Every structure is written in C-alpha cells, then in structure tokens.
C-alpha cells in the first residue's frame, strides 16, 4: 500500500517519548529502525488511512486518490497515471491534515491546564513529503538521496543521549492524534473544505516566515471563497427577501443608484451579509480593510502587507471557516524563526 509521508517541523515522538534506555539498547541500525518504525497509531476511514510511527513520521494513504490515479505498473508512486496531479491532491490533503493536527496540539492541555506549541508549523511541499510502501519500508529510502528523507536517515544513524528524539519531552499524545483524525474525518471527503484548509496552511506558514504579503494573499483567497458561499446561501434564503431594502441601501453607487445584483463585487456581498445580519459590524469593517490592502498589493508594484493586516486577515479566515463549517480550528501566530 502506498503512503505519502512527512515529519513535523520539530522532532517529536508519537504516543510516548523515547527513553535513553531504549536508545542505548537499539545499538545497531536494524534495532534502531525497528524501534522508530513501530506504528503506534492507526486510523482507518472510508476514504483515508493514517499510520503514525514512534519517531513521529506521519504516513497518509488516500483511498480516493489511489482509485482516481491507478498505477501504470507496480514500480512505484511516481509511475501512476497523471502523477503530477496525484501529487497535488496528496499535498492538499496532507497540508489540511497537518493544519488540523497543529490545531489539536495547541488545544491539548498538559499538566496544570497548559498548552504547548512544541510542534511548530510549516506548509508541506514536494520537498518535504515522500512516498513510501509499507511492504518495502526503509528500502526505498536507504540511499537518502531525497532531501525530504534526510530526517528519517538522521534518526536511524544517530545514537546515544544526543539522539534528536531525546531532546524533547513532549510528543504527539494519543488524545491529540485521535482529536486530529476525528476532526479530519468530518471534512476529508469535502474537496472545498480541504482546499480552504490547505490555503490556510500556506497562509500561516508564510506569516511565520515574515512573508506578510504572501500570507495575506492566501488568506484572502480563502476568505473570499467563504464569503461567496455565504452570499449564495443568503440569496437562497428568506432573509434575502426580508432584508432586501437594507441590502439595497447598503449597495448604492456614487450617484445614489442601487447597484444591480449582477454587478455585485466582494465589497457589495460583504455589505449585504452585514445588512442581513450574517456578519457583524466589526467583521465587516475588518473585511473591508483587508480587502483594500489586498487590492492595493494587486494594483501596485510597491505596496506590501503589514504584519497586523496579515494577521487580521488570517484570523478572519479562521473565524469564517469555523463558523461556516462548524469546525474548531485554532492556530498560533508565534514565529518559526529564531531572533537575529
């Protein structure tokens, strides 16, 4: 069975921490590999399968993608039909899952009711994810030629108390993993939500690397998609008729004429949603500010997004997505880069 695998940014163990005694006993490459390759968490659903190893490697298999992209032969993942499209779909899925996992880590309470951002976050690209086969696990990666596999090899070539996995006391607790998988299972077959979560992952990752403009663009794309869906829902509801006069009053041109619905822009839709009490005044004002910032960037070679605008746009994106899809995504805006 084919899996797409990745590691979190920081080194973490899964289920339980690896002890110094275990590392000392695993004094050969085969013994250490056996220790780290142990699958300590497995969750099988209608459209996906997740395995998580002791060393924190996350192994993701999409039953839907594998059906849509059958293999040309048995030689490997990269031989599949339309394999570029297959990679794109997998990366979207695992970024959505990774974001939900990160949210679960932040919401988990350790002793004293504290939460810890021990995992950190980055968006997973083709350079970070790698294919593997559970029948040939370890053999495909034995040459270590792919940079995305270097973490795996580093773990298996290190020994003693300086082993990377010995440096952290916290890890992916079973409760964290269960919460992440249960949340992901609610949306795994909803392509629109997966795309939104993947865009949110990119936005958060860019923000953590001080790329505020890129972060704003990704978050606004996602926000605009949700606003369009909210607008379409409003059009089909009785609220549209009830609030028609308020909606018309909120959408007039410079000459005082009511803007025809067929000419509505995002700005008109935001005004209409506010007029129909679908979004509050503060969110309307913040959406307007973020939309203008995005437009200024798109129409000028020099304008860049500020940290505040980028963060506010991402927060709005999270709020709208949680409200519209009844989710509970929580993210940290701490930076992923050391101070210089």
Report, as an integer, the average pLDDT of 25-38. 89
Report d(CA 204, CA 188) in Å as an integer. 20
Report, as an integer, the average pLDDT of 76-99. 81
Report, as an integer, the average pLDDT of 85-94. 92
Q: DSSP assignment, residue 172? A: B
Pairing of strands 2-6, 58-62: antiparallel
Digit-coded pLDDT (tens) for 206-251: 999 999 999 999 999 999 999 999 999 999 999 999 999 999 999 9
Report d(CA 95, CA 110) in Å as an integer. 25
User: Who's near 136: CB < 8 A, 6+ residues apart?
Assistant: none
Q: Among residues 10, 6, 5, which one has the least CA distance to residue 332?
A: 10
- 218: how many CB neighbours lie within 10 A of its CB? 26
- Letter string b/e over residues 76-97, b meaning 16 or more CB atoms within 10 A of that residue's CB: bbeebeebeebbebbbbbbbbb
Q: What's the pLDDT score for residue 77?
A: 53
Residue 78 pLDDT > 70: no
């Amino acid at each position: 069975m084919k899996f797409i695998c990745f590691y979190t940014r920081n080194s973490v163990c899964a289920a339980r921490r690896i002890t110094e005694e275990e590392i000392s006993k695993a004094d050969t490459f085969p013994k250490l590999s056996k220790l780290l390759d142990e699958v300590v968490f497995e969750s099988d659903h209608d459209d996906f399968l997740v395995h998580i190893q002791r060393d924190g490697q996350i192994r993701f298999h999409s039953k839907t993608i594998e059906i849509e992209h059958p293999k040309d032969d048995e030689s490997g993942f990269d031989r599949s039909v339309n394999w570029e499209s297959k990679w794109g779909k997998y990366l979207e899925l695992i970024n959505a899952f990774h974001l939900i996992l990160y949210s679960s880590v932040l919401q988990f309470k350790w002793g004293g009711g504290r939460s810890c951002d021990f995992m950190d976050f980055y968006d997973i690209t083709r350079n970070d994810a790698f294919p593997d086969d559970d029948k040939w696990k370890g053999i495909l990666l034995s040459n270590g030629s792919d940079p995305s596999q270097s973490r795996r090899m580093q773990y298996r070539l290190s020994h003693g108390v300086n082993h990377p996995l010995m440096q952290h006391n916290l890890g992916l607790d079973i409760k964290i993993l269960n919460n992440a998988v249960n949340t992901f299972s609610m949306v795994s077959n909803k392509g629109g939500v997966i795309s939104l979560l993947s865009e949110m992952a990119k936005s958060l990752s860019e923000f953590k690397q001080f790329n505020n403009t890129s972060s704003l663009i990704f978050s606004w794309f996602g926000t605009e998609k949700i606003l369009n869906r909210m607008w379409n829902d409003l059009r089909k509801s009785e609220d549209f008729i009830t609030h028609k006069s308020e909606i018309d009053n909120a959408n007039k041109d410079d000459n005082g004429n009511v803007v025809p619905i067929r000419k509505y822009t995002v700005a008109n839709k935001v005004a209409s949603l506010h007029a129909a009490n679908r979004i509050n005044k503060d969110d309307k004002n913040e959406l307007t500010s973020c939309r203008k910032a995005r437009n200024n960037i798109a129409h000028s070679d020099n304008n860049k997004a500020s940290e505040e605008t980028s963060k506010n746009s991402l927060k709005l994106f999270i709020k709208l997505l949680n409200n519209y899809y009844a989710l509970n995504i929580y993210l940290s805006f701490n930076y992923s880069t050391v101070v210089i």
